[in-house]
Structure 1
Amino acid sequence: MLRGDRLGTLAELRDFLAEYHERDPADWALTEFQHGEDHGLVGAVQAFWLARPGVGINVLIDPERFTTETLGAITKGIAGAE
């Protein structure tokens, strides 16, 4: 779970994570997904969404040990993160 004033929108969360993980946002292949009532973004090894303004959830897996299906299952199992 991430908290901060910089995390007011999903786009701001994406920008923060791109900077933190040193990714080029233009080359970061992400797809929108729904986590309950929250909108999120998911890639091959990472999923994240905004639980509420200022609170972001980030799930990152080791692609050598886990599949994208596992990432989806972990993401679906996270509830009530506030």
Structure 2
Amino acid sequence: MVDVRHVLVLPDRDAAEEAAEALGERFGLAEEPQMVRDSLAGEDDAEDAQWLLLVEDAGGRLDARELDEFVEEWDGWREDP
């Protein structure tokens, strides 16, 4: 099996924090996802930032469609690896 890093894009910090907590509960992750602020090009305002959750998937066991459905609950999406 191949190790994969999933990138979940969320609209704001609150959504990212909620999703990070729920990810562990729903998918039984061994480690908490890393949360990263992603400023939009040319924007200085914190309101114009997306938040990324970097989810390490040892062995590629997480189903991409389930992650898509999960992140959509917070108006986000999953980037293809």
* TM-score, length-scaled by structure 1: 0.37
Structure with greater proportional helix content: 2
* TM-score, length-scaled by structure 2: 0.37
Which structure is richer in relative contact order (CA contacts within 8 A, separation 6 or more)? 2
